[in-house]
Amino acid sequence: MTAASPRRLLTVCLGNHCRSPLAAAVLARQGGAAVQALSAGIREKHVGRPAHPLMITAAAACGYDLTPHLGVQVSRELLDWADTVLAMDRNNLAALQDLADERTVPKLRLYLGDQDVPDPWGGDDAAFATVVKLIEDGAARHLT
């Protein structure tokens, strides 16, 4: 008997600089061996760059290490790879719907189901800490 393949979750935000790298780390930790989680961004601005310094700090305060992260832009290949694609907000979801084809559109969802994960970009430490809490609290819905 073989073990079931891990669920492949792709988290997507605007730049793959704040929310989506954290969401992938949270899903990977909470899902354990049952989950593979990757992240990507709609825009290419942060491709190859590390996560936002304030997100690295906020994530570390909760035990997540984002220091290895380097930004990636979402692609059709990543959409094909994923079993589920989790957009951090409605604008990201709309951009993904434009990129997706008829096979991948059914995979698209908002991370928090009916609300956006606010973008902490430009905010203070508290804004980043709030996003960490929202993403942690929202993870379980994708792991059952």
| Catalytic member of 7, 8, 19, 29 | 19
* Active-site annotation holds for 19: yes
Q: Which of 122, 120, 115 is nearest to 59 (CA)?
A: 120
Q: E-assigned strands of 14-131? A: 35-41, 84-87, 108-110
Assess contact for 142 and 27: CB atoms under 8 A.
yes
State the catalytic residue, choosing from 7, 8, 13, 62: 13
The active-site residue, picked from 43, 119, 125, 141, is 119
> Which residues is 37 bridged to in the sheet?
9
Is 89 known to be catalytic?
no
Determine whether 76 is an active site residue: no
Residues that are catalytic: 13, 19, 119
